[in-house]
Amino acid sequence: MQKDVTVSIRNLSKHFGKHVILNGLNIDIEKNSITTILGFSGAGKSTLLKHILGLLQPTSGEIHVLGNDLADMNHFKLRQFRQNFGMLFQYAALFDSMTAFENTAFPLREFSDYTEKEISERVSELLLSVNIKEESFFKIPSELSGGMRKRVGLARALALSPEIMLYDEPTTGLDPITTRMVNDLITDTSKKYRERGLTSIIISHDVKATLEISDYVAFLDRGRIIEYLPALEFPKSDNPLVKAFINL
């Protein structure tokens, strides 16, 4: 396998009962890049993401992540392996009984050997880096605005220095200003951690923002990647479905 490929998927198929959701899907996702997967609602984008995370088992096909075949791992290994991932959820998915600080500290407390003091330093650093000010550290999610929650969610996702960041529809349902902020956050994060080798995978409906922030764009339809191009070339695709999607 090539050295600079983070995620490599071969002939991935997934059936839910009689429904074929993924059907012989192939994709290689390059290290250090931002790759966005576009597709109509229900195309199977989230399903694909769950396969990369090892949350779903393929009906057939192979998935390699960071050089490891997911099929070779039992579910304890898989759980451990997921520490290589950070994920930002659509509505941030902060634990609503915990403060912004505790949310960010959560993965560190669970998985690192840091002392409380080191955790506290690391959390402050993370939260400040996503523009959460100290006065908001001890607010619970319901006291934070949607944009702030997203930022805390990102801080939490970055806490364990993941190799791969996943964003599932990071801007769906946000107002234009917050959307812009989240997109900036994604590009900033990607840039900042680039030399450490962070790969970002985004799932999106938003064509315009996708083309602005991504290095590569893939289009998922009927269970396959039907187009996969550098972002600059993507609008010139001559695939009729892609054209239709871009011009929606």
Partner 1 sequence: MIKFLERQIERLGASVLVPIGSLGDVMIFTYQFFYWLVKRPFRSKLFIEQLLFVGNKSLFIIFLAGSFTGMVFSYQTYFGFKMISVDSLVGPIVAISLSKELAPVLTGLIVAGRAGAAMAAQIGSMKVTEQIDALEVMGISSHQYLAVPRIVAGTIAVPMLTVIFNLIGNIGSWFVGTKALMIDEVMYFSKLGEFMFVEDLLQGIIKAVFFGFIISVVGCYFGFTVEKGAEGVGRGTNLAVVWGMILVLILDYFLTSFLIRIL
Ligand X SMILES: Nc1ncnc2c1ncn2[C@@H]1O[C@H](COP(=O)(O)OP(=O)(O)OP(=O)(O)O)[C@@H](O)[C@H]1O
Look at phi and psi of residue 220 and say left if phi exceeds 0, alpha if psi is from -120 to 50, else beta.
Answer: beta
Strands of 17-142, DSSP E:
19-30, 34-39, 60-65, 68-69, 85-88
- Rounded (10°) angle between helices 146-158 and 176-192: 20
Please state, in angstroms and as integers, the Cα–Cα distance from residue 229 to each residue in 87, 119, 188, 208, following that order. Answer: 24, 41, 22, 15
Distance between CA atoms of residues 63 and 26, nearest Å: 9
Q: Is 248 in the site for ligand X (CB under 6 A)?
A: no
CB-nearer residue toward partner 1: 152 or 246: 152
Phi and psi at 115, nearest 5°, equal -75, 165
64 touches 135 (CB < 8 A) = no
Considering only the stretches 39-47, 173-181, 211-219, 237-245, report the one whose residues sit in contact with ligand X under the rule CB under 6 A.
Answer: 39-47
- Give me the least distance between CB of 161 and partner 1, in Å please: 14
Interface residues for Mg ion in 31-50 (CB under 5 A)? 46
Q: Per rule CB under 6 A, is residue 170 in the interface with ligand X?
A: no
Strands 5-16 and 19-30: antiparallel
Binding range to partner 1, per CB under 8 A, among 59-67, 107-115, 177-185, 195-203:
107-115
> Exactly one of 30, 62, 68, 89 binds partner 1 (CB under 8 A); which one?
89
Instruction: Give Cα separations from 65 to 31, 47, 52, 210 (angstroms).
Output: 11, 16, 7, 23
Residue 126 binding result from partner 1, Mg ion, ligand X, none, given CB thresholds of 5 to 8 Å by partner type: none
**Whose Cβ is closer to partner 1: residue 9's or residue 152's?**
152
Residue 90 within binding range of partner 1, rule CB under 8 A: yes
Residue 3 or residue 19: which is nearer to ligand X going by CB? 19
Does 39 help bind ligand X (rule: CB under 6 A)? yes
Query: Whose Cβ is closer to ligand X: residue 44's or residue 54's?
Result: 44
Task: Please report how close the Cβ of residue 77 comes to partner 1 at its closest, in angstroms.
Answer: 10
> Applying CB under 6 A, does 41 fall inside the site for ligand X?
yes
Report how far residue 68's alpha carbon sits from residue 71's, in angstroms, rounded to the nearest whole number.
Answer: 9
Calpha distance 135→100 (Å, rounded): 11
> Please, which of residues 123-162 interact with ligand X by CB under 6 A?
none
Q: Which two tokens stand for residue 31?
A: 């290290």
Q: Which residues make up the interface to Mg ion (CB under 5 A)?
A: 46
Q: Which residues make up the interface to partner 1 (CB under 8 A)?
A: 53, 55, 78-83, 85, 87, 89-91, 93-96, 106-107, 110-111
